[in-house]
């Protein structure tokens, strides 16, 4: 028996609900698109109001398409849930900007159009970036930009501790640096191990850097990564509040000037320039050397399925406006994202050389839903962040925590 579209939506909604990402308050509520030249647009940026550069750019793209664009902003998790419910009720927005891991869930629910069916060209987008929104060989949106993780470091703290950042090449050298920093009276490293998608996002570079596979959470490689984090917390190289830290609060700790390192993202570059101390950026090291694979963050501009297919022509114009090379540069500058195309990346680095290591990091990044995981990822991510919490709090050993995570993921 083939499941109905309503059944698929119900299953998808149950899958998506646990996938918690960056926090933020909800914006104005959305409504179904209406006649009379009004189109609806949803995005996950409640921090940007109508007067912001982003808000103005969205409105301008509506004007360029000859319509009024009614924008609603929600936090990442709320947006995905509302999208599924709206589609179930037959009033999905015309255009929607969604976090890349959510794309596969929405596709499985049958509520997104293929970009090829709309005539949208994604050939210039980097393969690993478009890959996060590609299912069974078909892309279901156009990435507006990408971000990922690296290690920010405080030059003054490292210098006082006698640590050369160029010496950070693997886990052993990083741990040795943290030991020196603590001995010099400063603090080691901040990161987010919170029990949401942010915790999984931050753990993945270490998990993948050990050679871990998301289909085998309790492998020796996965255990090695979680053991590393636990050793840091137990030794006082990382604060115990990593269990509650979001990426924002973790950054606030680093901004005090007391910490040597912060695992954080491209989006903090503006804050780094305001921190009041000299900083640098290095790639997160793999266990035995080299750069660890890091997860691809960022959003896709998508076109949900509509009963009135004549609306797609205008929706296509809106997507094209938001993702054109001419608009990607100012948009990604506003969002502190790395552009998804090499041409715009080159322009970004020319204007801001500090983006150079981030462009390299994004080029080597992995999609969280890649490798055929798709909608399985949320059922893996939640047990994984739960395991991190259990191990760092001391309620379970890394081995036992990940064994329980694997058992839970297998039932997902």
pLDDT digits (tens, 9 = 90+) for 207-227: 999 999 999 999 999 999 999
Q: 303 near 312, Cβ under 8 Å?
A: yes
Q: How far apart are CA 191 and CA 202, in angstroms?
A: 7
Taking residue 263's Cβ as centre, other Cβ atoms within 10 Å add up to 25
Pairing type for strands 187-190 and 138-139 reads unpaired
List Cα–Cα distances, 389 to 188, 396, 397, 399, in angstroms.
Answer: 20, 9, 11, 13
Bridge partners of 264, per DSSP, are 150
**pLDDT one-digit tens code per residue, 6-43:** 333 333 433 343 333 333 322 333 333 334 499 999 99
Once rounded to an integer, what is the mean pLDDT over residues 66-95? 89
Q: Kindly tell me if the per-residue pLDDT of 313 is higher than 80.
A: yes
pLDDT confidence of residue 3: 33
Q: Kindly tell me if the per-residue pLDDT of 2 is higher than 60.
A: no
Is residue 303 very low, low, confident or very high in pLDDT (cuts 50, 70, 90)? very high
pTM of the model: 0.81
pLDDT confidence of residue 31: 35
Q: What are phi and psi of 123, to 5 degrees?
A: -65, -25
Token code pair at residue 54:
């982003």
How much of the chain is helix, strand and coil, in % rounded to 5?
50, 15, 35
């Amino acid at each position: 028996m083939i499941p109905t579209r309503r059944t698929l939506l119900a299953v998808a909604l149950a899958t998506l609900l646990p996938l918690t990402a960056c926090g933020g308050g909800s914006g104005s509520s959305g409504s179904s698109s209406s006649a009379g030249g009004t189109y609806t647009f949803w995005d996950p940026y409640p921090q940007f109001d109508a007067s912001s550069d982003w808000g103005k750019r969205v409105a301008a793209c509506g004007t360029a398409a000859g319509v009024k664009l009614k924008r609603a902003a929600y936090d990442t998790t709320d947006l995905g849930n509302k999208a599924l419910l709206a589609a179930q009720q037959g009033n999905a927005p015309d255009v929607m900007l969604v976090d890349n891991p959510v794309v596969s869930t929405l596709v499985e629910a049958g509520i997104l159009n293929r970009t090829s069916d709309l005539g949208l060209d994604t050939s210039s987008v980097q393969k690993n970036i478009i890959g996060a929104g590609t299912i069974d060989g078909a892309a279901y949106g156009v990435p507006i930009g990408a971000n990922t993780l690296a290690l920010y470091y405080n030059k003054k703290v490292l210098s006082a501790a006698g640590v050369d950042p160029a010496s950070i090449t693997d886990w052993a050298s990083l741990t040795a640096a943290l030991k020196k920093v603590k001995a010099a009276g400063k603090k080691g490293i901040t990161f987010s191990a919170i029990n949401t998608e942010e915790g999984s996002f931050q753990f993945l570079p270490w998990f993948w850097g050990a050679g871990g596979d998301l289909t085998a959470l309790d492998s020796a490689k996965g255990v090695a990564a979680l053991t590393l984090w636990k050793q840091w917390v137990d030794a006082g190289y990382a604060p115990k509040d990593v269990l509650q830290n979001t990426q924002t609060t973790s950054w606030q700790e680093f901004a005090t000037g007391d910490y040597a390192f912060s695992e954080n993202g491209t989006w903090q570059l503006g804050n780094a320039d305001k921190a009041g101390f000299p900083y640098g950026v290095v790639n997160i090291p793999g266990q035995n050397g080299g750069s660890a694979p890091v997860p691809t963050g960022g959003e896709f501009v998508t076109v949900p399925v509509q009963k009135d297919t004549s609306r797609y022509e205008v929706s296509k114009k809106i997507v094209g406006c938001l993702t054109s090379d001419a608009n990607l540069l100012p948009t990604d500058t506003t969002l502190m994202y790395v552009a998804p195309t090499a041409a715009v990346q080159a322009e970004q680095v020319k204007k801001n050389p500090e983006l150079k290591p981030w462009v390299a990091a994004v080029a080597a990044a992995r999609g969280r839903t890649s490798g055929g995981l798709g909608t399985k990822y949320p059922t893996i991510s939640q047990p994984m962040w739960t395991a991190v919490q259990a191990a760092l709090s001391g309620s379970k050993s890394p081995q036992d925590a990940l064994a329980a995570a694997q058992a839970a993921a297998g039932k997902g």
